[in-house]
Amino acid sequence: MATTGAPRESSWVRTLTRLFAEQTRMGFAQWRVHARISAAIGLLTEGATVSTVARQVGYASSSTFVRVFRDATGETPGACGAGRSTTALELDRWVD
């Protein structure tokens, strides 16, 4: 009888997850948010609208993007776009 690869695949996923966390010092979900927010800051400072940036960095709704951005940086994306943000550019304080 043929065996499924489930136990072996599960072990590989755990190893990859552990290695990713060791290399990035964060889990994949946290890294993805960090990458999206970093990209968003660049777009916002170039003058893109919040709704355009939300779509470009992978959010289906602007309201979700605004909530995640504010949780990550302590400021709204609109403040960053207006050039008034200092904390949004200091993402290292958010990521341990």
Write out pLDDT tens, residues 58-90.
999 999 999 999 999 999 998 887 655 545 455
pTM over 0.75: no
Among 30-34, 51-55, 78-82, name the one with the lowest average pLDDT.
78-82
Burial class (CB in 10 A: 0-12, 13-18, 19+), 96: exposed
Q: Which amino acid is at 76?
A: T
pLDDT of residue 95: 43
Looking at residue 75, the DSSP 8-state letter turns out to be S
* Of residues 8 and 72, more confidently modeled: 72
Residue 31 binned pLDDT confidence (cut-offs 50, 70, 90): very high
